[in-house]
């Protein structure tokens, strides 16, 4: 399901050259982006990059300084928050402690003057959606944190908004529960067909739940793409470094191969390395070679017939259970991280501290970046 690639699909939300300034500080800078119906869209970026400001403009709590925000083709900037088909779920859940789970879910529906029997039916439907049928009569303090999160979700979906904004929705849950809840969230999003926009600090969470991720920096979207493309084809050093772990080696673009790959000279006497340019790189200019640790092979024997080979010494090992990350110091001073699977028995694992090892990677494994 990739509505952003389908010319017949109409976007649900359109930002058109949106700028938001607080005094002379620009929080959102000439932003233009389409978000499609039924998308699970994640906003990712360091603290202060403008994620919350963007969400608040969608909800109607902030007004753009310039530009328009369209929903189904209509400008919603003048529409007050309670008149928009948009709801926002906060990390704190903000459940009423004195009301039962069912009353919490019913609250917004009753205020919109829905007839009582319809409210009851909708509450039942919502309890079923989040699998809390048996918990309708409990108060928030009588259920677990994960269940409270689901009540909050049910409450924010009760009025069937077109767009649900989720600000760090799983921030209060521990890691294991968070993982399970991510899948529930995806399931509920799919079942209801509601467009979700999520803000999270957790890159893995964004990669798991989102159909597309926007990586933000200083009020701008640096890259908007599917999780796998953001991870494997980052368009800048900023994105490569922000999402996941990456080895970055600075050098000079020396020449271009016929297939477009770029050869980089990076250290006196060291063999050149080759990577695929993500942006145009002119010969002779500074650039950065990036490669993910899982794409760097580590061996004790000199790899025969391989292109990108360096030698070094293991100076650190991070044991992560299924894999280990080896930090290998090169004679040039760089540290390259290489990952290897721990699928062998402990006594047959091959690498330890101070081992002299060879690292190599294929010509298609690394990217050439600028910026
Ligand atoms: P975090 O991840 O820490 O929540 P964020 O990416 O959500 O950060 P925003 O809350 O959108 O960032 O803030 C973006 C920038 O705008 C910050 O530098 C913030 O200080 C500034 N800002 C936000 N709201 C206001 C305001 N009402 N007045 C002045 N500056 C503001």
pLDDT score, position 343:
87
pLDDT score, position 233:
95
ipTM of the complex: 0.95
- Looking at the structure, tell me whether residues 282 and 260 fall in a common domain: yes
Q: What is the pLDDT of residues 91-116, one digit of tens each?
A: 767 899 999 999 999 999 998 889 99
Q: At residue 171, does pLDDT exceed 80?
A: yes
pLDDT score, position 145:
87
Using CB atoms within 10 A of its CB, is residue 111 exposed (0-12), middle (13-18) or buried (19+)? exposed
Nearest to 216 by CA among 62, 26, 4, 23: 26
The residue with greater pLDDT, 22 or 200, is 22
> In the structure encoding, which two tokens stand for residue 368, read together?
């050439």
> In the structure encoding, which two tokens stand for residue 243, read together?
């999402």
What SS3 state is found at 51?
helix
Mean pLDDT score, 267-285: 91
- Looking at the structure, tell me whether residues 214 and 250 fall in a common domain: no
> In the structure encoding, which two tokens stand for residue 5, read together?
């690639």
pTM across the whole model = 0.91
What SS3 state is found at 26?
strand
Please, are residues 261 and 273 in contact by the beta-carbon 8 Å criterion? no
Q: Domain range for residue 312?
A: 245-369
Mean of all residue pLDDT scores within the chain? 93
Domain-terminating residue out of 188, 213, 238: 238
Q: What is the pLDDT of residues 241-275, one digit of tens each?
A: 999 999 999 999 999 999 999 999 998 888 899 99
- Looking at the structure, tell me whether residues 194 and 261 fall in a common domain: no
- Looking at the structure, tell me whether residues 168 and 285 fall in a common domain: no
pLDDT score, position 268:
84
Q: At residue 310, does pLDDT exceed 80?
A: yes
User: For tokens 């753009």, what's the residue?
Assistant: 64
- Looking at the structure, tell me whether residues 128 and 202 fall in a common domain: yes
Q: Which of 21, 24, 27 gets mutated to test ligand 1 (max ligand atoms within 8 A of its CB)?
A: 27
- Looking at the structure, tell me whether residues 73 and 15 fall in a common domain: yes
pLDDT level of residue 176 (50, 70, 90 thresholds): confident
- Looking at the structure, tell me whether residues 30 and 174 fall in a common domain: yes
Mean pLDDT score, 352-369: 94
Q: Between the CA of residue 113 and those of 107, 108, 158, what are the distances in Å?
A: 10, 9, 14
Number of compact structural domains in the chain: 2
Q: What is the pLDDT of residues 113-165, one digit of tens each?
A: 899 999 999 999 999 999 999 999 999 999 998 899 999 999 999 999 999 99
Q: Which of 19, 20, 22 gets mutated to test ligand 1 (max ligand atoms within 8 A of its CB)?
A: 22
Q: Between the CA of residue 245 and those of 290, 295, 337, 358, what are the distances in Å?
A: 10, 11, 9, 20
Q: Which of 18, 48, 202, 216 gets mutated to test ligand 1 (max ligand atoms within 8 A of its CB)?
A: 48
Calculate the CA 47 to chain-centre distance.
14
pLDDT score, position 173:
83
pLDDT score, position 288:
97
Domain-terminating residue out of 238, 262, 289: 238
Q: What is the pLDDT of residues 195-215, one digit of tens each?
A: 999 998 889 999 999 999 999
* Gap between the Cα atoms of 349 and 324, Å rounded: 10
CATH number of the domain bearing residue 112: 3.40.50.300
Q: What is the pLDDT of residues 321-338, one digit of tens each?
A: 999 999 999 998 999 999
Residues with a CB atom less than 6 Å from ligand 1: 22, 25, 27, 45, 47-53
| Minimal-distance CA residue to ligand 1 atom 25 | 22
- Looking at the structure, tell me whether residues 201 and 111 fall in a common domain: yes
Please, are residues 240 and 248 in contact by the beta-carbon 8 Å criterion? yes
Q: At residue 305, does pLDDT exceed 90?
A: no
**Nearest ligand 1 atom to alpha carbon 43:** 6
- Looking at the structure, tell me whether residues 252 and 360 fall in a common domain: yes
Please, are residues 13 and 46 in contact by the beta-carbon 8 Å criterion? no
Domain-terminating residue out of 221, 238, 255: 238
CATH number of the domain bearing residue 361: 2.40.50.140
- Looking at the structure, tell me whether residues 112 and 40 fall in a common domain: yes
What SS3 state is found at 213?
strand
- Looking at the structure, tell me whether residues 315 and 219 fall in a common domain: no
- Strands 195-199 and 163-167 turn out to be parallel
**Residues forming beta bridges with residue 327, ordered by sequence position:** 316, 337
- Looking at the structure, tell me whether residues 286 and 362 fall in a common domain: yes
Mean pLDDT score, 57-74: 97
- Strands 220-225 and 212-217 turn out to be antiparallel
Residues with Cβ within 8 Å of 126's Cβ and at least 6 positions away in sequence, in order, are 105, 154, 155, 157, 158
pLDDT score, position 50:
96
Q: Between the CA of residue 340 and those of 176, 268, 318, what are the distances in Å?
A: 24, 29, 11
CA of 56 to the centre of ligand 1 (A): 10
């Amino acid at each position: 399901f990739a509505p952003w690639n389908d010319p017949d699909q109409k976007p649900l939300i359109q930002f058109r050259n949106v700028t938001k300034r607080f005094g002379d500080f620009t929080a959102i800078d000439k932003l233009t982006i389409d978000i499609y119906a039924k998308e699970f869209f994640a906003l990712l970026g360091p603290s202060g990059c403008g994620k919350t400001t963007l969400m608040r403009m969608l909800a109607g709590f902030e007004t753009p300084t310039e530009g328009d925000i369209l929903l189904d083709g209509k400008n919603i900037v003048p529409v007050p928050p309670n008149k928009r088909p948009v709801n926002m779920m906060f990390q704190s859940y903000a459940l009423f402690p004195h009301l039962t789970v069912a009353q919490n879910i019913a609250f917004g529906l009753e205020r919109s003057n829905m007839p009582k029997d319809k409210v009851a039916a909708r509450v039942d439907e919502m309890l079923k959606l989040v699998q809390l049928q048996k918990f309708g009569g409990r108060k928030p303090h009588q259920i677990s944190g994960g269940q409270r999160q689901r009540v909050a979700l049910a409450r924010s979906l009760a009025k069937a908004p077109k767009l649900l904004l989720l600000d760090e929705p799983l921030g209060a849950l521990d890691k294991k529960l968070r993982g399970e809840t991510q899948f529930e969230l995806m399931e509920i999003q799919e079942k209801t067909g509601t467009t979700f926009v999520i803000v999270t600090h957790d890159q893995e969470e964004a990669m798991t739940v989102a159909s597309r991720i926007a990586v933000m920096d200083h009020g701008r979207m640096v890259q908007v793409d599917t999780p796998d493309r953001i991870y494997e084809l980052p368009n800048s050093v900023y994105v490569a470094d922000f999402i996941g772990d990456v080895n970055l080696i600075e050098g000079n673009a020396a020449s271009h191969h016929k297939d477009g790959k770029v050869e980089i000279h990076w250290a006196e006497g060291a063999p050149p390395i080759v990577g695929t340019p993500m942006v145009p790189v002119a010969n002779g200019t500074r650039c950065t070679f990036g490669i993910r640790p899982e794409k760097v092979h580590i061996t004790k024997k000199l790899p025969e017939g391989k292109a990108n080979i360096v030698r070094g010494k293991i100076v650190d090992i991070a044991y992560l259970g299924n894999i280990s990350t080896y930090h290998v110091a090169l004679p040039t001073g760089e540290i390259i991280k290489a990952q290897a699977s721990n699928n062998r028995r402990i006594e047959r694992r091959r690498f330890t501290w101070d081992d002299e090892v060879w690292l190599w990677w294929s010509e298609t494994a690394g990217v050439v970046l600028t910026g």
